[in-house]
Amino acid sequence: MRKKSPAREIRVQIDSRYEFIDLIQRMAEDLCRVAGLARSAALNLGLAVREAVANAIKHGNRLDHSKRVIVIFKVASDRIVVAVRDQGKGFDPQRVKNPVAPENVYQNHGRGIFFMNAFVDDVTFTRLRSGGTEVRMEKRSRERRPGGASPARASMRQGGKAQ
Amino acid sequence: MKTKVRMVGKVAVVELSGKITIGEGDVVLRDEVNKLLESDQKAILLNLNGVTYMDSAGIGELVACYKRAAEAGAKLKLLNPSGRVSDLLSLTKLQQVFDIYNEEKDALVSF
């Protein structure tokens, strides 16, 4: 039986500045290669991570440069998990409106979480004890591994849990 | 992101190139469209062929420009969104909102 290699972890901490978003997005896309994910999957995760970091800077830390955004990448042989933490006051993801509902389609904002849900397999929001929010995104390899289980189906799940 | 405006008859064709993302291209796009509306331009065609990347902020700015144009009595239409940008417009159901053209000549006669 094939033994899975342990996940490798990388932690990055940035100031709340938009100019760092590109860097984090590139890291996400490059690490997808390490995890054996396809190019299209890397682009999808890259956009989801971009949106999560942008939200953390803008809505979580409210552009306060003294507040940090922490990004944790966990890279395994068949998946990558990215957690994005801010130091804001938290929010209720259930209150985010559906941007493709007819009454919301003309809104200027509110598509970031929609993109996260669309482009990764799982998204969860957790309110941290410290007061901020953690967005956890998981992207799995679609390729069937010899002797392994069939790949999990993509889901559009979005849930929040309080600590 | 860079912009270049050329007039074809009464239509201002705005050539966009580069990324339209948060804090970067979205501001450039906003400023360019505002400038055209302030100069009483009533027909604006945004050529997205050179747009290499867009995020939700870029998509949001396109919608904001569309609404500002409508409020000013102007029309704003889109030309040639590339594959990925086109996918995002479709996913967000904005292909039903914007008039989108693949050929410039078709877009020009539509105003």
Q: How confident is the model at residue A148 (pLDDT cuts 50, 70, 90)?
A: very low
Is residue A87 in some structural domain? yes
What is the complex's ipTM, to 2 decimals?
A: 0.92
* Chain B residue numbers touching A51 (CB-CB < 8 A): 55-56
Q: Which of A148, A128, A111 is nearest to A72 (CA)?
A: A128
B84 vs A43: CB contact, 8 Å cut-off? Answer: yes
For the entire predicted model, the pTM comes to 0.88
The structural domain count of chain A equals 1
CA–CA separation, B51 vs B19, rounded Å?
Answer: 6
* Chain B residue numbers touching A103 (CB-CB < 8 A): none
Number of H helices, E strands in chain A: 3, 6
Is residue A3 in some structural domain? no
Is residue A80 in some structural domain? yes
Is residue A102 in some structural domain? yes
Is residue A108 in some structural domain? yes
pLDDT in tens, A89-114: 988 888 889 999 999 999 999 999 99
Interface with B, mutate which of A29, A106, A117, A120 (most B CBs under 10 A): A106
Q: How confident is the model at residue A146 (pLDDT cuts 50, 70, 90)?
A: very low
Three-state DSSP string of B97-109:
CCCEECCHHHHHH
Cβ-contact A38, A83 below 8 angstroms: no
Domains in chain B, start-ordered, CATH in brackets?
2-110 (3.30.750.24)
- Residue B26 or residue A93, greater confidence: B26
Q: How confident is the model at residue A143 (pLDDT cuts 50, 70, 90)?
A: low
Does the pLDDT value for residue B15 go beyond 90?
A: yes
Kindly report the CATH number assigned to the domain that includes residue A124: 3.30.565.10
Q: How confident is the model at residue B10 (pLDDT cuts 50, 70, 90)?
A: very high
Is residue A61 in some structural domain? yes
Per-residue tokens: A131: 């007061």
Is residue A72 in some structural domain? yes
B23 vs A19: CB contact, 8 Å cut-off? Answer: yes
pLDDT in tens, A32-54: 988 889 999 999 999 999 999 99
**Amino acid identity, residue A163?**
Q
* Residue A132: domain span: 8-146+154-162
Is residue A1 in some structural domain? no
